[in-house]
Structure 1
Amino acid sequence: MLTLYGFGRVHPPVIGETRDLRVQWALEETGLPYRVHPLDHTGGEMDGPAYGRISPFRLVPAIDDDGFVVAESGAILLYLAEKAGRLIPADTEGRTRVVQWCFAALSTVERPLMEIQLIDKFGDAEADADRRAKMVQEAGRWLSGLERRLEGRDWIACADFTVADILLATVLREIRGTDLLDRYPRVKAYYDRALARPAWERTLAAYAERLGVAVEDIR
């Protein structure tokens, strides 16, 4: 059975923000059987040599599929889609579109959104005001691009929901505590549509139980 290495204990400010959510969502969407191996981040479990042999950077998530180990959330999602034959088209052009938007979510859209989230959670509002304003401006450029892309479309890469949508929706989730999406109605509707999926609700419930928090506290 496939094993997902995810958080069992993590520092409270980042509960609900961790990237194992992406992988568990993909597993719930594909229906692949899996178990979660919870790691105690606060106790240093990820820093030991055992986990270092699983994840080169000692980061979560990682998966072990009967001895085949994959790290990095984007790579894991693409592997799961290929393995299940779901959440990715069978033709080369369709698959390339999905890969393109996976890369776009992680390498383009996420950078300023993650920094905004970190400033809001851990920064100094006054000292970081200029930096945050620059990140909001940069984020606007990428969100505007998404807004154009989503004209007449339900999903970002293809007509159907794919792993690119899981990655992009979880990236957009990083700024859910702000009003940034209100300026982009198509992106906001897309985000709401993705997180209304039953597999996401199952994922969030299982994650909340694993971390010992209420679902509403991390929604």
Structure 2
Amino acid sequence: MPTLTTFRAVPSFAVGYVRDLRVRWALEEAGEPYDVRLIGFEEKESPAYRHEQPFAQVPVLQDGDMTLFETGAILLHLGERFPVLLPRDPDGRAQVTMWAFAALNSVEPYIANLANLVVFSMEQPWAAAQRPVLEEIALKRLGQVDDWLAGRDYLAGDFSAADILMTTVVRLLDGMGYVERFARLTAWRDRCTARPAYRKALAAQVAQYAPETEAA
């Protein structure tokens, strides 16, 4: 049974957004049971944990004799076992892999920069001038994904690991009104987050970090 390592506790603003959600969701889509190993913030810098995750981050997945970090790598690894995450035909696999990298490299950095500014830095004197710059590139990326979704239910054929990664990227802007400017992107996000596996994965994370909080 795979073992997912994540933090024992996180600040309230992070509940529902910790990146172990990506792995939980993938395992739920695959119908694969898993164990959870919890670590404290003080443990992430320990030599033992840095041997598993050199950047002192979560999650880590232990699957048999293999230990993996980085959610993109973990999801593609799970896709090798579970076709619901990664198609078996070469063309389909290439398309999903392409969009997995796009989510993490072409979209996430810009979305995360904007989200971090709005959530953490708006009181800073430089934030008002910086926000339009970050908004412009984030909205450009969201619009490009929206354009791609024309005539498509998912990013690369059927639902896949790429949709898990991109959905969790887009959700960094929850409650800010940016995604809702794009009809196809909003419909796709809502389609992905309506999946039972997503709901189960989110509920598991919320129950772990904030038992009093209801998954939204």
- Short-chain TM bin: over 0.9
Q: Distance in 2 between matches of 1:128 and 1:164?
A: 32
Cα distance in 1 between the residues matched to 2:129 and 2:194 = 35
Distance 1:124 1:17 in 2: 20
What residue identity is the alignment partner of 1:105? A
The Cα shift of 1:15 comes to 2.3
Mapping of residues 147-166 of structure 1, within 5 Å: 147-158=146-157, 160-166=158-164
Residues 214 and 116 of structure 1: CA distance in aligned 2, closer, same or farther (over 3 Å): farther
Unmatched segments (≥5 aa) in structure 2: none
Q: Which residue of 1 aligns with 2:185?
A: 187
TM-score by length of 1: 0.93
Deviations 1:35-57 (A, max 9, x none): 0111222xx11111111111121
Equivalent AA in structure 2 for residue 33 of structure 1: P
SS in 2 for 1:53: helix
Give the superposition deviation at 1:86.
Answer: 2.5
Q: 1:180 to 1:199 in 2, by over 3 A?
A: same
Normalising by the residue count of structure 2, what TM-score does the alignment of the two structures yield? 0.94
Residue type of the partner of 2:26?
A: A
| Counterpart residue identity of residue 128, structure 1 | A
Of all paired residues, the percent bearing the same amino acid is: 39
The 5 Å alignment of 1:62-211 reads 62-125=60-123, 126-158=125-157, 160-211=158-209
Deviation string, structure 1 residues 185-218 (Cα, Å, up to 9, x no partner)? 00000001100000111111111111134444x6
Q: Secondary structure at the match of 1:133?
A: helix
Q: Deviations over 1:14-40 (max 9, x none)?
A: 222211111110011111221011122
Give yes or no for contact 1:2–1:66 (8 Å, CA) kept in 2: yes
SS of 1:9's equivalent in the other structure is coil
The answer to whether the 8 Å contact 1:4/1:36 transfers is: yes
Instruction: Tell me, in whole angstroms, the C-alpha distance in 2 between the residues paired with 1:215 and 1:110.
Output: 26
| In the alignment, structure 1 residue 56 sits paired with structure 2 residue 66 | no
Preserved CA contact (<8 Å) 2:75 2:85: no
Q: Which moved further from structure 2: 117-126 or 166-175?
A: 117-126
List gaps (5 residues or longer) in structure 1: none
The answer for the alignment partner of 2:24 in structure 1 is 24
Question: 1:58 deviation in Å?
Answer: 1.6
Task: Decide whether the 8 Å contact of 2:15 with 2:210 is kept in 1.
Answer: no
* C-alpha contact 1:205 1:215 (8 A) present in aligned 2: no
Per-residue CA shift, 1:127-179, capped at 9, x if unaligned? Answer: 31222211110012111111111111100111x10000000000000001211
Q: 1:100, 1:195 → 2: CA distance?
A: 21
Q: What is the Cα deviation at residue 61 of structure 1?
A: 0.8
What is the root-mean-square deviation in Å for CA atoms of aligned residues?
1.4
Structure 1 residue ranges, 4+ long, deviating more than 4 angstroms after superposition: none
Residue 122 of structure 1: CA displacement? 1.1
